[in-house]
Amino acid sequence: MTLLPPTPAQQKRIDKELPSDPEMRKQDIRALREWLSKQSHLPNHIDDNKLERFLFNCKNNIERCKLILEKYYTVRTSLPEFFDTRDPLSQDIRDSFNIVDYFVLPSLTEEGHRVITFRLRDTDVEKFSFQALVKRILMILDTRLMEEFCLSNIMIIDLEGFSMAHYTKFMPTQSIVRRAMLAIQDSMPFRLSSIYFLHAQSFITSLINVFYPFLKEKLTQKCHFFNGGAEELYVYLNKDILPNEWGGKAGTFQELNGT
């Protein structure tokens, strides 16, 4: 799925939020390169475009950028279950596409945020692989890091179809959940402005609580829970950017998921 670039109005909003001085950006990249040259365990062949995206997503904060670069590369060896055999055509990844819809919507919000959607396609808990899903998410995030700028991200998690059986399956896997959060939350240079949970009936709270202990406090404050479906989002988002099945015009779930 092709991600549409910012409109002039969206770009103006992004530039206002994170103004960029081209000369200062060059100085910052030189400073990062000098730092990288002294880190024998990190690659020093990272291209300028990638470093620029790291800087942008770290709000032009060099010290934070160094910290994220450190984590970004070290987790690739410390968490092999998510980074070994990264083949998008492997059977586990192909199965993941058939079981879970995880995709980025083509259009930015009016404020310049990118919207990511997660929902079950197949509710059979025996087919669900958390490890394959995390590998897939990390591959998508790496691709986005090479291709786009956005001000921040909004996550929509549709819990329809999740059951206590999913909760039971997740309970023994808190170790892998913790490691997944380290790979996604702590080592990727992406900002998250909101997380919207749809169909968050009371029993779903138990499932969410598996992940909550591993979320940063600042992130938990950005979570919003709704008992209803996509119509709950219309107050927060222009519904035209949403999938067709949610009243929008972005395309069908199947088209957006790439299946």
SS (H, E, C) 165-216: HHHHHHHHHHHHHHHHHHHHHHCCCCCEEEEEEECCCCCHHHHHHHHHHHCC
Q: Does residue 31 carry a pLDDT above 90?
A: yes
Domain-by-domain residue ranges, the chain? 1-258
pLDDT tens-digit profile of 126-167?
998 889 999 999 999 999 988 888 889 999 999 999 887 877
Rounded percentage of the chain residues whose pLDDT exceeds 70:
93
What is the spatial distance between Cα 20 and Cα 23, in angstroms, rounded to a whole number? 9
Fold of 1-258: Phosphatidylinositol Transfer Protein Sec14p (3.40.525)
pLDDT tens-digit profile of 203-216?
566 666 667 677 77
pTM, entire model: 0.91
* DSSP, residue by residue, 124-159: -GGG--HHHHHHHHHHHHHHHHHH---SEEEEEEE-
Q: With contact defined as beta carbons under 8 Å apart, do 4 and 105 qualify?
A: no
The tokens of 4 are what? Answer: 């549409």
pLDDT tens-digit profile of 180-199?
988 998 899 999 999 999 99
Q: Mutual orientation of helices 204-211 and 174-181 as an angle, nearest 10°?
A: 60
